[in-house]
Amino acid sequence: MDYYLTGEYWNFEWKRQNQPDRFYTLGAGRIKRGPSSLARPDPSAPRKWIYSDSVEIEGKSFKDPQATETLTGPFVIFLYTHSDGATPPTTTFRVGFFPAEKMSYHRGGNTYEFVNLRDAYSGFFEEGLNIASSSIVGVWVAPMIGDIYADMYHFENPTTGKCYYWAEAGDMSYAPFKMTFTAPIKTDDSKKYIIEDPLGTVYATLPWEVESAYVYMSIDIGTNGAWLDLFFSNSSSSSFSTWEAGEGREVKIPLPAVPVNDNAYGEYALTGQREYDISMARMQQEQNAVNGIAGVGTSAIGGAIAGSMVAPGPGTVAGAVAGIATGVISTATNYFSAGHYDAKAQEQTDKLTANQTSNVIINAGGLSWFNQGRRWRIIELVRDTESAAELSAEQSELGYVTDSYTTDCASVAATGGGLRIEGLEVKGGLPPEGRAYIAALFARGVHLDILT
């Protein structure tokens, strides 16, 4: 005898006759398979995940009010120290940036050209910017530069004609930039969203069934590295207090580093050491000249006095004057010849310094990712066709994987579909063996077709 079908028949009759109580009811139980509203992540893995679609993470562009063109990413961002040259000096951190792509632009009626990423990989970075390599803390590539700087400055190297923007590190605003998706995204049993950097490293998979309509992005720059901060949210407000913190929505991605070499001559010139050496040589020449002339005068006067004491007369005085003139001429000749040979010595010092082997002070990978056009992306992966069809059939026939205890399994059963309920409580007018039969039936799993 099928107790379940019989019981359902009598429940139908009781309902048709407007009886106040059902013949039997389903009580408490733990639902292991059920409707999609109770679903948990399905543990079955597909044969493979297939690329379906992707969207590039494009950050905020930069527009100088005095310039014609708008600068778009990626950007090269660098952190460096700067001394004001005072005594004692004040040293500050500065953040500079320029577009990674080569470009010229117009600002204030003039045409400028930026240093670019290829310049940096070619070793032309610090010379082009007129910055000592030893002052550079780090150089990175980012899809954006941050939000707005309180005080942004434009610098052009008059020697190379290259330019960049910079600001005091403390002036950087951390208000995030909001990127809106065409349609909300979320990971589920059939697809997942991963975050990949330009080097192909996967840094995160978005949480299961956590929907996001926006991604907020900002750049975090420090002395030990730089990161792209991403926060996926359904909040339309850029205020962190409104975001869904703690749900696994935040992703922190290290930015690719750019190599920097230590050019000996560039360091020698840009740190002021060369100017210092030239100035000190010139001061030494002037000091020697003054001392030489003073020495000539003293010795000549002393000689004249001594000579007049021994053999006073006009000849003695004339000899003393001639001696003074000869000494002054000799000192002036030495002074100018010393200047000539000091210049020659400085030229040899410059040549020696320029011939020193350069050292790499910041290591990094190659430039292939940039040349290939790879960028920061949100990638959608889907199950392969066979695995997707298998999962769909399983969920349709057996129900979704769940793990939910409820005191009223009747309402869940009323939705139909695949069900499996453990420890089901069956109440009503059925005999004990009938209640046990129904409980065992649901424990094995059933598929209910609801006819209306």
pTM for the whole structure: 0.72
133 and 217 share a domain?
A: yes
C-beta neighbour count of 144 within 10 angstroms: 25
416 and 435 share a domain?
A: yes
Residue-number span of the structural domain to which 322 is assigned: 268-357
Look up tokens 């909040």; give the residue.
235
Residue 91 pLDDT: 83
Question: pLDDT exceeding 90 applies to what percent of the chain?
Answer: 31
Quick check: helix, strand or coil at residue 369? helix
> Over the stretch 302-324, which tens digit does the pLDDT of each residue have?
454 444 444 555 554 445 444 54
Q: Report which of residues 46 and 432 the model is more confident about.
A: 46
Domain count, the chain: 3
39 and 54 share a domain?
A: no
278 and 148 share a domain?
A: no
At 408, list the tokens.
């009223």
Quick check: helix, strand or coil at residue 281? helix
**Where does a domain end: 309, 339, 357?**
357
197 and 252 share a domain?
A: yes
**Where does a domain end: 349, 383, 417?**
383
227 and 309 share a domain?
A: no
212 and 86 share a domain?
A: yes
C-alpha 85 chain-centroid distance? 31
Span 365-385, average pLDDT: 90
**Where does a domain end: 357, 374, 407?**
357
> Over the stretch 13-51, which tens digit does the pLDDT of each residue have?
555 555 555 667 889 999 999 999 999 999 999 999 999
Cα distance between residue 126 and residue 270, in whole Å = 9
Cα distance between residue 3 and residue 18, in whole Å = 22
54 and 38 share a domain?
A: no
Residue 283 pLDDT: 52
186 and 257 share a domain?
A: yes
154 and 186 share a domain?
A: yes
H or E stretch covering 395: helix 385-398
392 and 290 share a domain?
A: no
Residue 130 pLDDT: 79
273 and 304 share a domain?
A: yes
37: left (phi over 0), alpha (psi -120 to 50) or beta: alpha
End-to-end CA distance of the chain: 25
Which residues are CB-neighbours of 146 under 8 A, at least 6 positions away? 60, 172, 173, 174, 218, 219
